[in-house]
Structure 1
């Protein structure tokens, strides 16, 4: 938790003060950094205005209603999710353009106030985490506590926090973190356009990468309730901090680096083309693998319905008779589609996309590669936690599943 607060400030400092070169921690002029990064009312209004905007639209706009997975601790109860993220997304995109063209609230002001907004986001996320934990304990809604205060605060005490019909965990993960990341990248692109009169190829790449990633989450929101984060992970400091502050303000470092360097990043055209191709290939496998697995779960749960959202990629939905391994625990493990070749192919493709975010920046700094390394370590840790949970749940059936799908990340290799 301590390091997570230092990371965004440290790399922002290097981008802002040391020409993107890493410096020793004790050489950082924190007083100079704080002069810029201290919160102000402009930053507060921008950040909280975004939170309120997304929350009001997420709460009020009608969407497609989907049931989540049955909750064991509530006797198989299924929560209802109002999946309207794609509607809000398509309202937001033209609104951003209107606000920019009219000058009422140009998106470039996000970059101009980056550090103060980061500070507001960090303060707000910690306050939400503290309130959520103690409110959960006070109301007796805690779930799977370990007995260690620090661990329980870190991982969370509540599983499905809601504000009316708005699921807070799903809201912050799908609506706040990734949309704000897109807006920060768009802000850096707007600043580059204002200064250069055009947008460089690396910046076009980052806009493309973040747009298709966010759009994938928006168009496939009905698949999110069956994901690990929603049906198993609790809403603690880990998810709250990283969704409200960490993800958008750390994952955008490649975009900021590209803006800072501008025309200095001059890789050959064939190199850029290869990175674009790698991004699109990884995205295809990531999108369709996620869709296959979550729609398989939804079919078994009886909640699957086709949605007319764009783009629906080929091979994203498996047939009703998809091969699966039945377990004594009552669940069925998918061994068809991409999931017949590797147990965590989606992790591999997600990490590959993260690698392209660094490669498009060239090799002049470590900072654009931090996200890839950080995400790689996080994914490995999550894989081990997931495997331990599945081993406890499925016992010998999990061993049989691992024998059936031999590879974890890359078919034929590992």
Structure 2
């Protein structure tokens, strides 16, 4: 009798090939990004707060103060904050399981499978908002003021939690790594996360879709704890301003209403995230864990935090200008994305018959008219201008509140580069033809 052959290792098999191209220049880039993002989180808090004001640390004394504050571990490590961060994650995870949800299939994976995802983010936000309202009715402003006053303790707790989560999913990705069932790997690795360099793989994310039962950890973290935490922080800072000044200023409304609307819009179109690179391509490692759970809520709420302790008075004309800029840029973002999603879903829809497209050799259709005839990434333009309007609401006394806009510009340019590389590889000469027909990336006739 022939001896059965040993199952091939899926850590380097045909479905889980070794990583050939490392993002962010590999190991040194991974270390640099992890170090820099945490340093920015610290710097933007310890140089922009109620006690010290909000100015860039351009002097040695300011840096000395920041370093001394940042290394005073006992001053901001708060076990209660860590407990609340864990409870927040667990609360939303419970809602993920128990709330009624529409089930949607993701894209086809390399092994031919399609994972199922519950679409219930907006319902989770609604239930959480109703719960927060009940907490307010029972306890008044106290719990929300605690959140605003213990902002950095919560941020540090979130950093600890997201790092522990990244350690867990990294170790979890090695389960049954040498077993295949029906020639399909038990663990599907991300193409960029199988480099055998533990630091880089930990950073970029080794497993593509880590799951605990039906809880897809990456999908869950992508839109729920961080996005809803951003809303909670903004509301808490607005209530802090109300408690201290007796009103919520126009500047605060201009900053938080568009951000809350953006969060609601994201959850309203939750199923669309299933076709983004974060879900289809990237693994879930420290980069996404920290980005989703810590960076988004605690850096993106900077405008509201600044306005909670800094009076900013805007003229009527300037207020109207920012409101119009927010509205117009949001419409560019939403209408362009909606047109693309509608065309992907049903390109034969009679409402889309006026749109022109080219058909690639792969069978895909690329729009060359409508919003997508203006620029290849016109949605990024609307997205960036929407964020800029929120920064403009903080006035011009400090450049620190414009970090959101500057960072988002870098993020979108990098994402554009990744999109262009992916499309160039996928469509080949058809992409060259498409670029000639739609020559601008962001703004028609300019860029």
- Equivalent of 1:18 in 46, 52, 68: 52
Aligned pair count?
A: 396
User: C-alpha displacement at 1:36, in angstroms?
Assistant: 7.0
User: C-alpha displacement at 1:320, in angstroms?
Assistant: 7.0
- Equivalent of 2:130 in 58, 82, 94: 94
1:348-401: CA deviations, max 9, x gaps?
111111111211111001111001101101111111122112111211111111
- Equivalent of 1:169 in 186, 196, 218: 218
Distance across 2 between alignment mates of 1:249 and 1:11: 10
Corresponding residue for 2:184? none
User: C-alpha displacement at 1:336, in angstroms?
Assistant: 4.0
1:67-93: CA deviations, max 9, x gaps?
22222x112x22211101111122122
Distance across 2 between alignment mates of 1:398 and 1:244: 35
Corresponding residue for 1:122? 159
Distance 1:335 1:65, change over 3 A: farther
User: C-alpha displacement at 1:331, in angstroms?
Assistant: 2.8
1:3-56: CA deviations, max 9, x gaps?
111111111111224210121473234344536753223212221111111111
User: C-alpha displacement at 1:236, in angstroms?
Assistant: 1.9
User: C-alpha displacement at 1:321, in angstroms?
Assistant: 7.9
- Equivalent of 1:358 in 359, 380, 391: 391
User: C-alpha displacement at 1:288, in angstroms?
Assistant: 1.9
Corresponding residue for 1:290? 337
2:422 maps to 1:389: yes
Distance across 2 between alignment mates of 1:330 and 1:166: 33
Distance across 2 between alignment mates of 1:4 and 1:166: 28
Corresponding residue for 1:212? 261
Corresponding residue for 1:45? 83
Report the TM-score when normalising by structure 1: 0.90
Distance across 2 between alignment mates of 1:321 and 1:155: 41
Distance 1:386 1:151, change over 3 A: farther
Distance across 2 between alignment mates of 1:94 and 1:411: 43
Corresponding residue for 1:84? 120
Structure with more of its chain in helix, by fraction: 1
2:305 maps to 1:272: no
User: C-alpha displacement at 1:268, in angstroms?
Assistant: 1.1
Distance across 1 between alignment mates of 2:143 and 2:305: 17
Distance 1:133 1:318, change over 3 A: farther
- Equivalent of 1:281 in 325, 328, 343: 328
Unaligned runs of 5+ in 2: 1-33, 178-186
2:74 maps to 1:54: no
SS at match of 1:101: helix
Corresponding residue for 2:28? none
Corresponding residue for 1:64? 102
Distance 1:296 1:78, change over 3 A: farther
Aligned pairs for 1:10-409 (under 5 A) are 10-16=43-49, 17-24=51-58, 26-33=63-70, 34=72, 38-71=76-109, 73-75=110-112, 77-103=113-139, 106-140=143-177, 141=187, 142-144=189-191, 145-262=194-311, 265-299=312-346, 319=352, 322-409=355-442
User: C-alpha displacement at 1:241, in angstroms?
Assistant: 0.8
Corresponding residue for 1:7? 40
Distance 1:84 1:112, change over 3 A: same
Distance 1:282 1:151, change over 3 A: same
Report the TM-score when normalising by structure 2: 0.83
Contact 1:296 1:318 (C-alpha < 8 Å) held by counterparts: no
Distance 1:364 1:396, change over 3 A: same
Contact 1:125 1:245 (C-alpha < 8 Å) held by counterparts: yes
User: C-alpha displacement at 1:402, in angstroms?
Assistant: 0.9
1:146-200: CA deviations, max 9, x gaps?
4444433322111122222232212111112211111111110010111111100
RMSD: 2.2
Distance across 1 between alignment mates of 2:173 and 2:230: 29
Q: What stretches of structure 1 move > 4 A for 4+ residues in a row?
A: none
Q: Which protein is bigger by CA-based radius of gyration? A: 2
Unaligned runs of 5+ in 1: 305-316
